C-alpha cells in the first residue's frame, strides 16, 4: 500500500493536499518561491467578455466624441484616467496610463502645470468592419495644431468598449 506523501503530485489522488491538476505547472522565480499557474479552462471563453451585435448597442458617435474629449484632457493632466476605466479595456487603460506618466514628467520638466486644454471636436469618421465593431477617427482642433484620435470600439457585454485608442 502506497502512502500519499510517497507519490508525486501528479500521481496523488484528486482532492489530496499535494495533488495538482494536470493543467497546472510550477513556475519558479528568482525572487519568489515557486507558484502554480493554471492553464485557461475551455469555459473561460464562456465566462469572459461576450460580444454584442451592433443592433443591440446605442449609437457610438456620442461615445466616440466623449472618449476623445476625455483622452485629450487626461493627457493634458486636467482629468483623471480612472474616469474612463469603465469604457476601455485593461490593455487600453495600461497604455493610456503610460502616456499619462510620460506627459506628466514632460510637464514637470518644463515647469508647467496641468491645465484644461482648449480644443474643439471636428469631424468623426466611423466605419464598421464587422458587426459589433466600430473603427473611427475623430479630428481634434486645438490652438496650435489639429490632431487625430483613432478609436476602435467593440460591443462587449451589451455596451461599447474601446479596445484601442491612439492619439496621433
Residue-wise pLDDT tens digits, 59-84: 999 999 999 999 999 999 999 999 99
Q: How much is the pTM?
A: 0.70
Residue 40, H or E segment: none
CATH number for the domain whose boundaries are 54-167: 3.10.450.50
- Three cell numbers, residue 143: 490652438
Q: Check pLDDT > 60 for residue 140.
A: yes
- Chain segment 3-24, per-residue pLDDT in tens: 544 555 555 555 545 544 444 4
Domain ranges of the chain: 1-48, 54-167
Q: What is the DSSP string of 98-129?
A: HHHHHHHHHHHHHTPPP----EEEEEEEEEEE
Q: What is the pLDDT of residue 29?
A: 47
SS3 content of the chain, % helix, strand, coil (to 5): 30, 30, 35
pLDDT tens readout for residues 29-47: 455 455 555 555 555 555 6
Tally the residues of the chain.
168
Q: Which three cell numbers stand for residue 49?
A: 467578455
Amino acid at each position: 500500500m502506497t502512502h500519499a506523501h510517497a507519490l508525486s503530485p501528479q500521481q496523488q489522488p484528486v482532492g489530496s493536499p499535494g495533488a495538482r491538476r494536470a493543467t497546472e505547472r510550477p513556475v519558479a522565480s528568482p525572487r519568489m518561491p515557486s507558484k502554480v499557474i493554471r492553464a485557461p479552462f475551455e469555459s473561460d471563453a464562456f465566462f469572459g467578455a461576450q460580444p454584442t451585435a451592433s443592433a443591440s448597442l446605442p449609437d457610438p458617435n456620442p461615445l466616440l466624441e466623449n472618449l476623445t474629449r476625455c483622452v485629450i484632457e487626461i493627457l493634458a493632466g486636467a482629468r483623471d484616467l480612472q474616469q474612463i476605466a469603465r469604457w476601455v479595456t485593461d490593455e487600453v487603460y495600461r497604455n493610456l496610463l503610460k502616456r499619462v506618466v510620460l506627459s506628466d514628467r514632460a510637464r514637470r520638466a518644463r515647469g508647467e502645470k496641468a491645465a484644461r486644454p482648449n480644443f474643439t471636436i471636428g469631424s468623426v469618421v466611423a466605419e464598421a468592419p464587422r458587426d459589433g465593431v466600430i473603427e473611427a477617427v475623430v479630428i481634434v482642433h486645438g490652438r496650435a495644431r489639429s490632431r487625430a484620435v483613432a478609436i476602435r470600439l467593440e460591443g462587449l457585454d451589451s455596451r461599447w468598449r474601446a479596445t484601442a485608442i491612439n492619439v496621433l
